Amino acid sequence: MRFSFQVTTQDGHARAGVAHTPRGEVRTPAFMPVGTAGTVKAMLPESVAATGADIVLGNTYHLMLRPGPERVARLGGLHRFMNWDRPILTDSGGFQVMSLAGLRKLTEEGVAFKSHVDGARHMLTPERSMEIQRLLGSDIVMCFDECPALPASEAEVARAMRLSMRWAERSKAAFGERPGHALFGIQQGGVSHDLREESAEALRAIGFDGYAIGGLAVGEGRGRCFRCSTMRRGCCRRTSRAI
Q: What is the pLDDT of residues 26-65, one digit of tens each?
A: 999 999 999 999 999 999 999 999 999 999 999 999 999 9
From 130-144, 160-174, 211-225, the region with the lowest mean pLDDT: 211-225
Q: Is 189 exposed, middle or buried (0-12, 13-18, 19+ CB in 10 A)?
A: buried
Range of the domain at 138: 4-242
User: Is residue 203 within 8 Å of residue 188, measured between CB atoms?
Assistant: no
Percent of the chain with pLDDT over 70: 95
CATH number, domain with residue 221: 3.20.20.105
Q: What is the mean pLDDT of the chain?
A: 94
| CB contact set of 220 (below 8 Å; sequence gap of 6+) | 150, 151, 190, 191, 228
The whole-number average pLDDT for the span 5-21 is 94
Q: Which of the four pLDDT bands, split at 50, 70 and 90, describes residue 227?
A: confident
**Residue 208: pLDDT band by 50, 70, 90 thresholds?**
very high
φ/ψ region of 2 (left if φ > 0, alpha if ψ in -120 to 50, else beta) reads beta
Mean pLDDT over 128-139 rounds to 98
Domain count, the chain: 1
Is pLDDT above 60 for 236? no
Is the pLDDT at 232 greater than 80? The verdict is: no
